């Protein structure tokens, strides 16, 4: 928890455009104290929390990485409550790329970001990966657990907001399909760096993201918290990694019952960076 709180203080301070010194002045503490909070070496005193949340224009739940009640809904929160699977049960093609490039030989830890109802998480769990998955929607996580029960596999699923959640464990594989448009553009570098730092040596990140194109209209489901990526943007964030697969495809979709098209950039990259001394 300390790690999440420290990362949130850092993120929210940067979001406000404050230096550590500026935040220290506003909080009437030393810049060293701020540095310790942000590196997880200490917590702010409990009596400082109301002031800290005021200064950072946030609340204690957000600071602690907790999603209160049903505050955070997505446009899918209601449809996920149905017994039917809104996205079907067919795994995304990217799952097969992962299976080929990083088969589950031995204990392979995989994190899925924005897992929805869990069709891809299920695929990975059934193939022997150790799967952790998160999504912001309560109803999504309920559905993941139901699916895992039905197929008698274990998936560790929990609610978290992509914008606020920072990783604590390391994974062999970080996977996300059609969910990373919920990261605001100005935080993508920081969040993707967090995913990279928490990917084990030789581990992979397998991601696909919706891309904006002038010749493709907006999807029928209007989502005010969606920020499409630019062509190649996700690839450039992996410039230092070994790119195993990059592609851009246009595909037909009929979610919400209205036929439409999406453009998607697909990336599989491997963490082959050598650490100093290796
Ligand atoms: C297009 S769906 C894709 C779901 C799944 N990956 C799939 O391919 O079936 C996007 C998912 O992102 C989730 N989502 C939206 N905003 C989010 C956020 N801020 N943090 C985490 N998940 C979020 C939605 O609940 C939804 O399940």
Residues 115 and 192 both lie in one domain? yes
Residues 99 and 212 both lie in one domain? yes
Position 237 in a domain = yes
Q: Which residue has the higher pLDDT, 64 or 29?
A: 29
Tens digit of each residue's pLDDT (9 = 90 or more) over 43-92? 998 888 888 989 998 888 778 776 555 456 788 888 999 999 999 999 99
The per-residue pLDDT for 258 is: 85
Residues with CB under 6 Å of ligand 1 are 74, 76, 87, 92, 114-116, 119, 135-137, 140, 161-163, 177-179, 182
CATH number, residue 51: 1.10.260.40
The yes-or-no verdict on residue 140 having pLDDT over 80 is yes
**Pocket test residue of 71, 84, 85, 135 for ligand 1, highest count of atoms within 8 A of CB:** 135
Q: What is the domain range of residue 122? A: 79-270
Tens digit of each residue's pLDDT (9 = 90 or more) over 221-275? 777 778 999 999 999 999 999 999 999 999 998 877 888 999 999 999 999 976 6
Confidence band for 1, pLDDT divided at 50, 70 and 90: low
Residues 39 and 173 both lie in one domain? no
Number of domains in the chain: 2
Residues 103 and 231 both lie in one domain? yes
Q: What average pLDDT is seen over the chain?
A: 91
Token digits of residue 140: 């999504």
What is the DSSP pairing of strand 130-135 with strand 109-113?
A: parallel
CATH number, residue 131: 3.40.50.150
Point out the ligand 1 atom lying closest to the alpha carbon of residue 225.
Answer: 16
Tens digit of each residue's pLDDT (9 = 90 or more) over 198-213? 999 999 999 999 999 9
Asked if 136 contacts 124 with a C-beta cutoff of 8 angstroms, the reply is: no
Given strand 109-113, what is the order of strands in its sheet? 155-159, 130-135, 109-113, 171-177, 199-211, 260-270, 242-253
Residues 193 and 85 both lie in one domain? yes
């Amino acid at each position: 928890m300390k790690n999440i709180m420290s990362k949130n203080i850092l993120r929210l301070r940067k979001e406000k455009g404050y230096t550590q010194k500026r935040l220290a002045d506003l909080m009437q503490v030393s810049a060293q104290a701020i540095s310790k909070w942000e590196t997880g070496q200490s917590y702010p005193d409990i009596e400082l929390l109301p002031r800290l949340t005021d200064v950072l224009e946030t609340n204690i739940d957000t600071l602690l990485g907790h999603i209160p009640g049903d505050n955070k809904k997505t446009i899918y929160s209601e449809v996920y409550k149905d017994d039917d699977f809104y996205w079907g049960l067919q795994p995304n093609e990217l799952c097969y790329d992962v299976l080929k490039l990083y088969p589950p030989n031995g204990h392979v830890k995989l994190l899925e970001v924005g897992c929805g109802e869990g069709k891809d998480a299920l695929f990975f769990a059934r193939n022997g990966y150790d799967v952790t998955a998160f999504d912001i929607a309560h109803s999504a996580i309920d559905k993941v657990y139901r699916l895992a029960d039905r197929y008698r596999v274990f998936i560790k699923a929990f609610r978290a907001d992509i914008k606020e959640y920072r990783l604590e464990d390391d994974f062999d594989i970080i996977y996300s399909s059609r969910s990373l448009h919920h990261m605001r553009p100005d935080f993508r570098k920081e969040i993707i760096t967090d995913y990279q730092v928490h990917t084990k040596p030789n581990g992979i990140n397998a991601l696909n993201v919706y891309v904006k194109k002038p010749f493709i209209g907006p999807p029928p489901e209007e989502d005010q918290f969606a920020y499409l990526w630019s062509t190649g943007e996700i690839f450039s964030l992996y410039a230092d990694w070994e790119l195993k697969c990059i592609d851009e495809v246009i595909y037909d979709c009929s979610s919400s019952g209205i036929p439409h098209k999406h453009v998607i950039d697909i990336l599989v990259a491997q963490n082959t960076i050598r650490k100093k001394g290796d």
